[in-house]
Amino acid sequence: MHQLKRKKVMVVGDLMLDVYTMGLVDRISPEAPVPVLRVTQENRKAGGAGNAILNLVTLGMEVIPLGRLGNDFAGRTFLETMKQENVDVRGIFIDDSFQTPLKNRIIASGQQIVRVDFENPTCLSPKMEKQIVASLSQLLEGVQVLAISDYAKGFLTPSFLSILIENAKIRAIPVIVDPKGIDFTRYRGATVIKPNLSEAVSAAGLGREATLDQIAARLISETEVESLIVTRSKEGISLFSHEGIREDYPAQVHEVKDVTGAGDTVLAILAAALANELTLSFAAELANIAAGLAIEKIGCARISLAELSARLLEIDTQLAFRTT
């Protein structure tokens, strides 16, 4: 993994706080037929696009976040996590009228039993959008890849997305999108879009009987992207080019524990690889391996170069053994 050098990556998207409340269940409540969790630990981490940011930091990249937070506990906690990681927070804007999304995952004996969300998705105001657009020229200086992480919380308005992608194209900066919703035309002109299988099927609108090749062809045509990457859970990752070439990468995972944040891991690996001018095929292969590592852990995982290298060596050793 020596090919991944420190590069500058901008991550744009919805910022939120992830809370993990962990403990033990050993009795049922006398008030209602529900388990009582005896809390033993609580962790707070940057979530949403923040998970992609932290994965890129772990990979050694210089990260420029662009997003918004509310003037609240969750927002302040998110900012503090960024500062602890020495992340440049100039591109994080505070919106007094916005509630920072918070997701609290309740985990008993390693098993998530419920998730409690505190959020009120609100579209970016025209005033703040104008302020953010005015900052783009300075924030994009020296950026080698732009990664968009859309969680449909209102920050990525159609008008802002259009301006953002156009600014990147003018500067010849590749744009990778982790999309949300069924209208992928919002991301028209991006370099790569990477939905999961369910998102791709819904966005293509061709019905459940359509083949993955047909779905990919429709999405590439509608969005005018160069490539489409579809994450397919236990089936791995499939890469499609606008020329109609398909490449499949089987899943590389030992044990599925938690799929939370795996998409952010894929986005981070793709961004780091493309920033280092690696081929998209190799980037997809690395992202597939990293996703396997991520879902072997509880919660949003940060995958290191050392872990990637170790898994690559393991896979190479297994292949060598099978061919002897």
User: For the chain, which residues make up each domain, given as ranges?
Assistant: 8-180+246-322
Give SS3 for 301: coil
Distance CA 160, CA 305 (A): 33
Active-site residue numbers? 264
Distance CA 9, CA 294 (A): 21
Q: Which residues of 133-155 are buried (b: 16+ CB within 10 A; e: fewer)?
A: eeebeebbeebbbbbbbbbebbb
- CATH 3.40.1190.20 at 8-180+246-322, yes or no: yes
Distance CA 293, CA 308 (A): 8
Q: What is the pTM of this model?
A: 0.89
Which phi and psi angles does 322 have, rounded to 5°?
A: -70, -30
Query: What is the chain's pLDDT, residue by residue, as a tens digit (324 residues)?
Result: 556 899 999 999 999 999 999 999 999 999 999 999 999 999 999 999 999 999 999 999 999 999 999 999 999 999 999 999 999 999 999 999 999 999 999 999 888 899 999 999 999 999 999 999 999 999 999 999 999 999 999 999 999 999 999 999 999 999 999 999 999 999 999 999 999 999 999 999 998 889 999 999 999 999 999 999 999 887 889 999 999 999 999 876 655 554 555 788 899 999 999 999 999 999 999 898 888 777 666 556 677 777 776 776 666 555 445 555
CA distances from 193 to 63, 268, 273, 274, 296 (A): 20, 13, 15, 13, 25
| Beta carbons within 10 angstroms of residue 21's beta carbon | 18
